[in-house]
């Protein structure tokens, strides 16, 4: 068997790149292809030659039907990081998106960036710890787009730091009030809408800190563990209503917060950014840090009908940092 290596791919977005994506997606699995072009609707096979496809960095343009087309997705906790990326991913995959967060100015700015026309993106100031605010969010989504097909619950309280003797119990309470009870608050009215419309998908965001202590953030990790346990019960309770519950679990995630940390360490330790990054990702199997947009793409999968038989599951998105 001979092995052939393709040259670097064309620039993403070019006609050649799109044609290449069509060939790769229809002919065979991404990564390894036969060298013979498809003919007459059939894929010709030459087992004597295997061609390795070098995939470009970044997102490959989606060819064909978008996986969230004609669906309405609510994303909570939309700020400068994962929440924004989840909204962007859902929008790119065809959804109408309702952005929810506590800060009106930030919501308006992000909505304008994502969809200047305002046709497929709407915003609602929401505090998930407040019942009335969550009810208003659900009502707004239905009024604007007619239904709710998926909820992506990103909003969280992260500042529950410290060990046994120096942690603040009020921070633990805030973590549980937001990350567990707040999630249930926003779920109650959303689930009612989904039941009336024949089902839906709820995607929760966990944390690898649930499984592996890395920093003194026991309060945050404990709250996310409680949310994971709640997910199992919710999946069981609402499975008969065709409502699915799953959790995406990131670890280190390249976005504004981690970028700030790397820059800070680089300056204070008088080391290059590359050295600081290598300290973190040098032993990861993929030897790189997952981007928040890549986590968001997995969220979009769980929200879509491609995962219609998946419920009560979690998926680590961590460049292989931890196997579980």
DSSP 212-240: S--SSBHHHHHHHHHHHHHHHHHHHHHGG
pLDDT for position 83 = 95
Both 122 and 26 in a single domain? no
Taken in order 297, 299, 303, 309, the sign of the CA dihedral is positive
Domain contains 39: yes
pLDDT for position 40 = 43
Helix (H, G, I), strand (E, B) or coil at 167: coil
pLDDT for position 278 = 86
Domain holding 92: CATH number? 3.40.50.720
- The stretches in the chain having pLDDT less than 70 are 1-65
* DSSP 8-state symbol, 296: H
For residue 257, the surrounding DSSP H or E stretch is helix 256-268
Give CA 152 to chain center in angstroms: 8
pLDDT tens readout for residues 170-221: 999 999 999 999 999 999 999 999 999 999 999 999 999 889 887 788 889 9
Q: What's the rounded Cα separation, in Å, for the pair 110 and 116?
A: 10
pLDDT for position 256 = 79
DSSP of 57-126: SSPPPP-SS-TTTT-EEEEES-SSSHHHHHHHHHHHTT-EEEEEES-HHHHHHHHHHH-TT-SSEEEEE-
Both 29 and 124 in a single domain? no
Both 191 and 46 in a single domain? no
Tokens of 251: 């670890």
Both 117 and 36 in a single domain? no
Q: What percent of the chain has pLDDT over 90?
A: 59
Both 124 and 235 in a single domain? yes
pLDDT for position 64 = 57
Both 117 and 42 in a single domain? no
Do 197 and 243 meet the contact criterion of CB atoms below 8 Å apart? no
Both 139 and 247 in a single domain? yes
Domain that holds residue 213: 72-256+286-317
pLDDT tens readout for residues 130-179: 999 999 999 999 999 999 999 999 999 988 888 889 889 999 999 999 99
Supply the pTM of this predicted model: 0.78
């Amino acid at each position: 068997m001979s092995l052939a290596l393709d040259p670097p791919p064309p620039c993403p977005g070019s006609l050649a790149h799109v044609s290449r994506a069509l060939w790769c997606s229809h002919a065979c699995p991404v990564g390894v292809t036969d060298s013979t072009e498809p003919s007459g609707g059939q894929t010709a096979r030459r087992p004597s030659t295997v061609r390795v496809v070098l995939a470009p960095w970044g997102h490959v343009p989606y060819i064909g039907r978008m996986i969230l087309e004609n669906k309405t997705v609510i994303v909570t906790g939309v700020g400068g990081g994962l929440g924004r990326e989840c909204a962007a991913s859902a929008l790119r995959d065809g959804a109408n998106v309702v952005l929810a967060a506590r800060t009106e100015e930030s919501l308006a700015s992000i909505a304008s960036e994502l969809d200047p026309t305002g046709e497929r993106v709407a915003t609602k100031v929401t505090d998930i710890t407040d019942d009335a605010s969550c009810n208003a969010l659900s009502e707004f989504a239905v009024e604007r787009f007619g239904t709710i097909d998926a909820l992506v619950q990103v909003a969280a309280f992260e500042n529950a730091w410290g060990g046994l003797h120096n942690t603040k119990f009020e921070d633990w309470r805030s973590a549980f009030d937001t990350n567990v009870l707040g999630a249930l608050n926003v779920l109650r009215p959303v689930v009612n809408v989904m039941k009336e419309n024949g089902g839906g998908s709820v995607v929760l965001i966990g944390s690898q800190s649930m499984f592996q202590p890395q920093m003194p953030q026991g309060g945050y990790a404990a709250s996310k563990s409680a949310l994971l346990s709640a997910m199992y019960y919710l999946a069981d309770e609402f499975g008969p209503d065709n409502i699915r519950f799953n959790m995406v679990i990131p670890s280190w995630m390249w976005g504004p917060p981690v970028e700030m940390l790397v820059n800070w360490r680089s300056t204070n330790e008088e080391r290059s950014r590359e050295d600081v990054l290598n300290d973190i990702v040098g032993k990861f199997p993929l030897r790189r840090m997952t981007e928040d947009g890549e986590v968001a793409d997995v969220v979009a999968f769980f929200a879509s009908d491609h995962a219609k038989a998946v419920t009560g599951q979690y998926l680590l998105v961590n460049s292989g940092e931890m196997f579980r």
